[in-house]
Amino acid sequence: METFLEEVNRRIDGVPIQRCYHCRKCTAGCPLTSEMDYNINKIIKMIQLGMRDEVLNSSTIWLCVSCETCITRCPNQVDIARMMDVLRQMAIESGVTPKEKNILKFHEAFLSNIKIGGRINEPLMMVQYKLKSGDLFSDMAMGMSMLMRGKLAPFSPRTKDMKSVRRMFEKTK
Ligand code: SF4
Ligand code: SF4
């Protein structure tokens, strides 16, 4: 039977996690390290040790924002952002409730926004997230202030190649 490590490697379909020699350059550069319950280096070790439940129940996998700083710093090109995607998908498939409140709803709002126009429209995404989470009024003042300062564009053009966007979503079904 496939081990946790083998499954993660198969689904990443790139550089195997065993290439990591735990230099921790990724962890030192990750902007979310201080918020994570296990830092990236620990998550990699836990995968190598087969700690499936602990990894899939961690907040780390949901806090990663896919900025790719880690892979840029990694001397072995371990694709941690892709690994986090895989782990989130595995957590959903295993019926694990994300440790971070409403984070799955945020991801869903993000994807449904991309599905509509091929790129993010921040005010629309905020509305979608608020409706999904039921958390209607928090951050309202900040949102208004950002709008007034021109930090949020009320309209953003759809991508020209919506066919490719639709194809991408079809492939993930
Ligand atoms: S930077 Fe690469 S080799 Fe170093 S700990 Fe992170 S994943 Fe492992
Ligand atoms: S991609 Fe995720 S894990 Fe890597 S540096 Fe960015 S937030 Fe941290």
pLDDT at 58: 96
Compute the distance between CA of residue 3 and CA of residue 132 in angstroms, rounded to an integer: 35
Q: Is the pLDDT score of 165 beyond 90?
A: yes
What's 96's DSSP letter? P
pLDDT at 6: 97
Q: Mean pLDDT, to the nearest integer, of 13-39?
A: 96
Classify the phi-psi angles of 98: left when phi > 0, otherwise alpha if psi is within -120 to 50, otherwise beta: beta
Instruction: Pick the residue whose CA is nearest to atom 4 on ligand 2.
Output: 70
Question: pLDDT tier at 135 (50, 70, 90 boundaries)?
Answer: confident
pLDDT at 146: 83
Query: What ligand 1 atom has the least distance to the C-alpha of 27?
Result: 6
**Residue 5 Cα, ligand 2 centroid: separation in angstroms?**
20
Q: Is the pLDDT score of 153 beyond 80?
A: no
In which residue are the tokens 């892979």 written? Answer: 71
pLDDT above 70 covers what percent of the chain? 100
**Residue 20 Cα, ligand 1 centroid: separation in angstroms?**
5
The reply to whether ligand 1 has any atom less than 6 angstroms from the CB of 67 is no
pLDDT at 150: 81
Q: Is the pLDDT score of 22 beyond 80?
A: yes
Compute the distance between CA of residue 139 and CA of residue 134 in angstroms, rounded to an integer: 13
Q: Is the pLDDT score of 7 beyond 80?
A: yes
**18, 26, 43: which to mutate for ligand 1, most atoms within 8 A of CB?**
26
Q: Is the pLDDT score of 116 beyond 80?
A: yes
pLDDT in tens, 32-91: 999 999 999 999 999 999 999 999 999 999 999 999 999 999 999 999 999 999 999 999
In which residue are the tokens 């907040």 written? Answer: 59
Residues 6 or more apart whose Cβ sits within 8 Å of residue 46? 38, 54, 55
Question: pLDDT tier at 92 (50, 70, 90 boundaries)?
Answer: very high
What's 79's DSSP letter? -
